[in-house]
Structure 1
Amino acid sequence: MELRHLEYFIAVAEERHFTRAAERMRVAQSGLSASIRTLERELGADLFIRSTRRVELTEAGRALLIEAHRTLASVDAARDAVAAVQGLLRGTVSVGTEQCLGVINLPPLLARFRRTYPGVEIRLRHGGSTHLADQVRLGRLDVAFVALPGQPPDGVTLMPLATEPMLLLCHPEHPLSARDTVDWESLRNELFVDFSSDWGARQLNDRAFTAVGLERRVPLEVNDVHTLLECVDQGLGVAVVPAPVARKPSARRLHVVTLSDPAAPRWQVSVAVPTAAPSSPARDALLRMVLPTPKPARPSVTATPGP
């Protein structure tokens, strides 16, 4: 089994199309197709269900995809480790983050990292915390900055960075704007604007309202912070958000209300890394800029299977 066969396989699996995969890998489609057939013969299983419009992974293909990502990540880590011994730091570090975490200002951090280690390519992906943690588990991200309530998925370790309160935002003319604090019962009949289900803040809110036995109506579900703030500003609903979101300049027109219930949720931002992944010099160098621990590759908080 050749590494390029695995690279071609991953490209087809992600593009769901042989032509697009070949363009992405900058090879002839015939050569890419031949490599996939060679891989299937070697494994003794069909990896794709082919149709005229797109291709889908078979059960064997789905199993291989996870291991293919891990294998290529291990190869990259091995190359980086040799380069580090030679006094070089090169390779790639793939970073994921949820929007507006506030606890960490990622662009300046990445700029400082690039200035310090110009031989390392930085890849950045945005997404919800659940999705990002899963990408870490699969080996597609080296590190992710997330806000996950509860335990991380199996195979992922969380290293806490900071904790922030959750706050209520409402329009200045909303009845709740006359108050500085509010309890859960006062929110029973409100319409909410919230993030999509894989965002950490949304999961935290859903758990909190369920814990106190309140049903919550969320007719407006968005996938970015600025749209959420605009919806609240237009009086379309209220929102329970992490404190960094409430501090954004675009939230200045809104009224901020403290949640007075002792059981009000708290928003924890953490660094997510693979639990059992081989050491990556580039990843460890990035973590040293973020964490105070001298050995970021061996965090003290270990993962357990999620619920």
Structure 2
Amino acid sequence: MELRQIRAFVVVADEASFTRAATRLNKVQSAVSASVRNLERQLGVELFERTTHHVHLTEAGRLFLPEARRTLAAAQEAQHVLEQLRGGLRGEVRLGLIQTPRHIVVQPALLIAEFRAQHPGVTVSVQAAGSVRHAEDLRRRRLDVAFVILPPEATAGLDLHVLASEKLQLLCRADHPLAERDQVELADLVDQPFIETPATWGNRLATDAAFARAGLTRKIAYEIGDAAGLASLVKHGLGIALGPMSFITEDEIRAVPLASDPPSLTLSLAVPAGHAVSAPAKALLETARELSEPTA
């Protein structure tokens, strides 16, 4: 067996497609198919069930997959050890970025800058998207580390390193009828026009889940993929929102606590669970830990 054959098998398993695997590996599909066929021939088993439109792991493939992942991880770790002996950590770490609260210490740009200063031989490639997309890319091993804001029910398959947590509150104009309340119930908000973040954002997931648990439905008037833009729409009286205090960028906006078990937004750095973390990814997490520690 060769590492390139094992890598081709793992990527096809992750993508459930020879076409997508070839794109990810930057190879022609026939080369990927040949690598997997040669691996199957050497092992004496079929690893995939192939149909015209679908590719599924066989029982043998499901048993072999975790061992294949461990083999690739061990080979990568051995390479990183040798690279460190030759003069420092090398390689690449693929990092997923989201819009993060302004007040947290571990801002993405600061993290990347500090990490690059510590490990100039490591390339940091970044991808900006919503937390749901990052979670799926981590599970499929398309990313090594990602900033995510996800409710607990959306974190399966991930290990989380928590950076900050905030409670959701009602965000409304200072002259809104609810602005002077000490607290509000979700039921008080169902007739209000809502300004929302996209469905792949952690804030939206938490809000949707809170209303679903309460058996309530709200009216979404606007959807915007920018926290400052959301605050601006609230400021101009176009609707209300649920969000953390860190979303507030305007003096005209008030935050009113939710009365019953308000959901939290937890910002974390996530890595795939159940897989060896590469040396560059471990180093990035260590840099984040150092930045998050309070200074004397």
Question: In 2 relative to 1, CA 217–152 (structure 1 residues): closer, same or farther, beyond 3 Å?
Answer: closer
User: What is the Cα deviation at residue 291 of structure 1?
Assistant: 1.1
Do structure 1's residue 206 and structure 2's residue 204 form an aligned pair? Answer: no
The answer to which of 66-75 and 279-288 deviates more is 66-75
Cα distance change, pair 70–202 in 1 and its aligned pair in 2 (3 A): farther
Change (3 A) 1:240 1:157: same
Determine if the alignment matches structure 1 residue 95 to structure 2 residue 86. Answer: no
Q: Distance in 1 between matches of 2:25 and 2:281?
A: 25
Contact 2:96 2:146 in 1 (8 A): yes
Residue 56 (structure 2) pairs with residue 58 (structure 1): yes
Residue aligning to 1:225? 226
TM-score normalised according to structure 1 size: 0.71
- The match for 1:34 is 34
**Distance in structure 2 (CA, Å) of the matches to 1:141 and 1:243:** 29
Letter of the structure 1 residue corresponding to residue 94 of structure 2: S
- Is the 1:100–1:245 contact (alpha carbons within 8 Å) kept by the matching residues of 2? no
Q: What is the correspondence of 1:147-186 to structure 2 with a 5 Å cutoff?
A: 147-150=149-152, 153=155, 155-170=157-172, 175-176=177-178, 179=180, 181-184=182-185, 185-186=187-188
Structure 1 residue ranges (4+ consecutive) displaced by more than 6 angstroms after TM superposition: none
Structure 2 gaps, min length 5? none
Q: Size of the alignment, in residue pairs? A: 284
Which residue pairs with 2:193 in the alignment? 191
How far apart are 1:162 and its partner, in Å?
Answer: 1.9
Compared with structure 1, are the counterparts of its residues 255 and 180 closer, same or farther at alpha carbon in structure 2 (3 Å cutoff)? farther
**Cα deviation, residue 106, structure 1:** 0.2
Amino acid at match of 2:3: L
Fraction of identical pairs, as percent: 32
Q: CA RMSD, aligned part only?
A: 4.0
Post-superposition shift, 1:183? Answer: 0.5
Aligned match of 1:82: 82
**Structure-2 residue corresponding to 1:255:** 253
CA contact (8 A) 1:225 1:245 kept: no
Encode CA deviations 1:207-243: one digit per residue, 9 max, x unaligned. Answer: 43355x3503253574722564566567554211222
